[in-house]
Chain A
Amino acid sequence: MIPVEAPVTEFTPVASAIGGALIGVAAMLLMLGDGRIAGISGILGRLLPPYQNSDTAEAGAFVVGLMAAPLVWLAVTDTPVAQTVSDHLVLMAVAGLLVGIGTTYGNGCTSGHGVCGLARLSSRSLVATLIFMGSAFLTVLVMRHGLGR
């Protein structure tokens, strides 16, 4: 059975909006400077086989920037990153595989379809976003509350 963990998290509208705005600034910067969509699954795909010589170094630099973020955060604020990750490793392996397959087959994830695609008013990305939100919502419903309860 999937372990059900449902610790309450604090509602943080201001911090979440500020963080969201920063994501938007990053997306703008990447488009303005490099002419690229800030879609994480697409950027990761450029670092994976089959290689297509599609600006691998730039994709790598973006990923290094992402991974530097928690270290910069810790250095500047001296507070740990608030995070609770499931330690059910089988669950995490299955989930990771599904996220990898789904985002590659579907040409995008939360950032590429959900942020950049919606900002470009792409109907394709709107469909994708509604489907992954709905699918994730149903998954959490079943996982935490069970079917028919």
Chain B
Amino acid sequence: MKSDFIKHFVFGMFTFLAPIGLWAGEGTDFPDQPPAAPPLKAAQLPKPFVTTLDNGMDVVVISNSEVPWVSISLMLPIGAQLDPEEKIGLASVTVSMLTQGTRNYTSDELAEKMDTNAISISGSAGIETTAVYASSLKDQINLSTELLAEVVRQPVFPEKDFLRTMKQTLQSKAVEEVEPTFQVMTTYRKWLYGDHPQGRESNGETATLQNIRRKDLEKFHQQYYMPNGSTLIFSGDIQPEQAVGLAKKYFADWPKGELPKFESHPLPPAEPTRIVLIDRSTSKQIKVVVGHLGYNRFDPDYTCGQLFNQVFGGGFVSRLNHRIRVVEGLTYGAGGSFSTSRETGALTAFTFTRPDMIGKTINILLEEIKKMQEVHPTAEELNDGKSYLVGSFALSMETPQEIASKVWDLKFYGLPYDYYDGYFKQIDSLTSEQVQAFARKHLHPDQIKIVVVGNAEEVKSQLEAIAPVTVIKPGEKVPPPNAPADSPQQ
């Protein structure tokens, strides 16, 4: 049992709001206000070692001997944007098949060799880029580089392993496709981007995956896997000399290819605010995503957008989370931001709530978007956003692997290695008025696309009070705006 003394104060404090300080460490050196130290200056991205092989492959080395571990990332500027329209998922299946058999190893032999030597090799394809990673203890670095080169350069895509991989892929997809957050996000992206590659699921869609054959993988690999345009990044306990030696040994004789030309793709026109409701009768929680098209990574407003994101929907203290979770208790999380890619970008905000509160929640989302135009950030919002961007940058460079991913980002967008110096200077100079001007320019409160997943019968009337509603089935395409609501869609 606690002493009566403590009981008295604990209950006294909460029941009668006893004056602060009684129990809060009075007479000790516990301060009554939080003691903060001044923020640190912006950290610098460590300058990496960079060289280029004769075949055009860049080699980057980020040395750090804190632990005897080395990661290698091979980054390629290819992805789902190159998939034929009827075979979306091809880039992704190709990369997952790289370790399933090569000229010198069967799938079983390769698995045995990697597992025995505790080498891990994996890869993934996004829309614009593909990455293949190898990692191991530093003593295995030679074998690890050799196997990485083997799977990237000489995969043979055996039929039996291909069929198994396709079954695994399609079944994972079947699970993914009944997940409500996935349903709401994919429907939103396809509606937003139309036939633009950014609207694709980079790991494919059931219907298009079914069209992929073994020969397609071979062809995709021949056409798009090449050293020129790619970057090999060593990060961890390795010095540049050794890394470059390994890169030359295993990749120098990889012949150059012809890089695919970057094609521009059209985007759908804007339309007045409308709601698409995905009918999922089993939902006990309603998910919603709202937003519209934005700007690309090269837009001069990109930096201001990063600060806007902090104020609007980045993290626990943003306006969205504050209002929807903390003040209203409507959700477990709410967030939103402008994201960018090479050619385009989007505003996307997401949250979820119980069925009877979905109307209220959407109205708050729409209000907060408008409010970013009407009410400029307070001094606290502005300064907190700035210092968060500066401080979190330092925290995000603890491991050499984290630094490697930042280096690749700069390389992919053709930005210089001292890019962040200018970026943080610009962040520092931004004013509330500039953030508000950004909001006025880039937000379009009357052209919002809203996607909701839930039991249509239960929530439809709440939604109709906000904007016109079109009900679709999961996986169904969003019909054009002039189609009558509820009409059966193909």
Partners in one complex: no
Q: Chain B: residues with CB nearer than 8 A to chain A? A: none
